[in-house]
Structure 1
Amino acid sequence: MSALIEVTLSWLLQNFKHRDDKLFIKGPAFADHPAPTITVTSPDCGETDAQLSVVYTADGVGHHPELSWTAPAGIRDQVREWLLVSEDPDAPLPTPIAHGVFGGIPVAKTSVKAADFDIQDDGQAMLKGGFHYGVTRRGVPYIPPRPLLNHGPHRYFYFVVALSAPLESGLLKAKATREQIAEAIVGKVVGWGQWVGSCERTWT
C-alpha cells in the first residue's frame, strides 16, 4: 500500500479507534476479574505505555517485547498454566486486531523473550519457548505493530492470563483462534495483568 493511500485512509478513518470495550479481557471469562492483579513488565522496552522502538515494529526486525510477570501468592498457588494475548484496539476495525495468541505456557515460565516466538514445530503449532501459538490474520505466530501512517498512536496490549487448569492440547495444536481461546478459558481465569506498548507511524 502506498504512503499516499495509507494517509488518505487514515484521514477517512481517524475516528475509528479505541475499541477498548472489545478487548480480550472484557469477555465473559473475566466477569469475576474486572481489574488486573498480575504485574507485567518489559525489561527491554521499559514502563507500560512506552513508545516501541523500530526493533519491535514491522518497519524493523519485529521482535516481540520481552515480558516478565509476577502474581500475588493467592493467585500464584492456583495457576496451572499461563496464556498470553496481544492485540491492538486502535485499528480501524469493529474489533481489536489479534497480534498474537499464545497458550500452554508452563506454570514455571514467568517471562518470555523474542527467541521464544520462533517456530519449533509448525505441525504442532509449537514455539521454541515451549508453548503454542494461535491464529493471526497473517498466518504467522506474531504480527509486529504497523499502524496506518498518520493514524495517530496505536496501543498494543499484552495480556498475561493465569489459568486454574490447562487448555486442551488438541485445541492448542490446531492453532486456536482468539475466539476459541476466549470460550475455552471460561471458568478458568484466576487473574490477569497487562503491559502496553505504543507505536505511531507518520508521513508528511
Structure 2
Amino acid sequence: MKQQPSPHARRADSALAPVAFQREEAGGEIEVSSPQICAGTAIPARHTAYGGGISPRLRWNPVDGARSYALLVEDPDAPQPRPFVHWLAWNIPPGVHELPEGVAQTARPEAVQGMCQGLNGRGQAGYFGPRPPRGDDPHRYHFQVFALDRTLALPDDAERTDLLTAMHGHVLAKGRLVATSQAPATP
C-alpha cells in the first residue's frame, strides 16, 4: 500500500509548481491588501468553502501605464502537481483598484464592468473559497494581482494555463497577499 506524503512533503513538492507570482517577471511592485484578510493569518471562515464561500474585498495600488489588471488566487499546498486555483480574473479595468466583497460567481460579474472570471479548480467561474483537506497543516493562499500592459483576449472558460500564457511578457508590476486556512476541527 502506497503511503500518502505528509502535508510538509507536499509543500516541498510545491516548489516544483510555482504560483504565478513566482513565474512572472515584473519591474514594479503592487501592494495588495484586504480589510478582511491580514497577511500571514487565517482567512476568516466566511471567505472559505467551510463557511460562506464569499470572495473577500481586495485592494491594490494603481500602476502607471497599466491597461488592465489580472487576479489569480492559488493554493500551492494542495496535493496535486500544480497549485489549486481558487479564483481567476482578468481585464479588470485600469481605473479599478479594488474588488468588492462577494463578487458574483459568473464569467462577467456586474460588480466590475469589463472584468472576466475564468474557471477555478472546480471548473466553475469565479471565487471558490479555501477548503484544505481535514488533517492537513494550514495551506497558504496567494491572492496575486498583476498589472498588465494590455487587455487579454481569452474565452470565458479560460483556465490558469490560458491566463499565464496570455499575460506572459506583459506584466508591468505584481503583488500578493498570502494568508492561510485549515479545515475546522471535527465536532
Structure 2 residues without counterparts, runs of 5 or longer: none
Would you say 1:118 and 2:104 are equivalent positions? yes
Report matched runs for 1:177-196 at 5 Å. Answer: 177-196=159-178
User: What CA deviation, in whole Å up to 9, does each residue of 1:122-142 have, x standing for no partner?
Assistant: 5xx201222111112323222
TM score, norm. by length of structure 1: 0.80
- Give the direction of change, closer, same or farther, for the CA distance of 1:63–1:79 in structure 2 (3 Å limit): same
DSSP 3-state at the match of 1:180: helix
Whether the aligned pair in 2 keeps the contact of 1:36 and 1:194 (CA below 8 Å) is: no
Whether the aligned pair in 2 keeps the contact of 1:150 and 1:202 (CA below 8 Å) is: no
Shift of residue 26 of structure 1? 2.8
DSSP 3-state at the match of 1:17: helix
DSSP 3-state at the match of 2:10: coil
Q: Distance in 1 between matches of 2:151 and 2:171?
A: 11
DSSP 3-state at the match of 2:163: helix
Would you say 1:138 and 2:130 are equivalent positions? no
User: What CA deviation, in whole Å up to 9, does each residue of 1:42-64 have, x standing for no partner?
Assistant: 1122x211211211111110111
Partner of 1:167: 152
User: What CA deviation, in whole Å up to 9, does each residue of 1:57-78 have, x standing for no partner?
Assistant: 111101112111114xxxx221
Larger-Rg structure: 1
Q: Distance in 2 between matches of 1:156 and 1:58?
A: 13
* Aligned length in residues: 177
Partner of 2:182: 200
DSSP 3-state at the match of 2:164: helix
Letter in 1 for 2:151: P
Q: Distance in 2 between matches of 1:189 and 1:48?
A: 23
Would you say 1:26 and 2:8 are equivalent positions? no
Q: Distance in 2 between matches of 1:36 and 1:190?
A: 6
Report matched runs for 1:16-55 at 5 Å. Answer: 16-18=10-12, 19-21=14-16, 22-27=18-23, 30-31=24-25, 33=26, 37-45=29-37, 47-55=38-46
TM score, norm. by length of structure 2: 0.86
Decide which of 5, 9, 13 is 1:13's aligned counterpart. Answer: 5
DSSP 3-state at the match of 2:11: coil
Shift of residue 202 of structure 1? 4.8
Q: Distance in 2 between matches of 1:186 and 1:16?
A: 27
Would you say 1:106 and 2:88 are equivalent positions? no
Moved over 2 A (4+): none
Identity of aligned residues (%): 28
Q: Distance in 1 between matches of 2:35 and 2:44?
A: 14
User: What CA deviation, in whole Å up to 9, does each residue of 1:141-196 have, x standing for no partner?
Assistant: 2211000111101011000000011112xx1x432111011111122100100011
Q: Distance in 1 between matches of 2:166 and 2:50?
A: 34
Decide which of 55, 62, 65 is 2:56's aligned counterpart. Answer: 65
- Give the direction of change, closer, same or farther, for the CA distance of 1:193–1:36 in structure 2 (3 Å limit): farther
Alpha-carbon RMSD: 1.9
Partner of 1:81: 68
Partner of 1:6: none
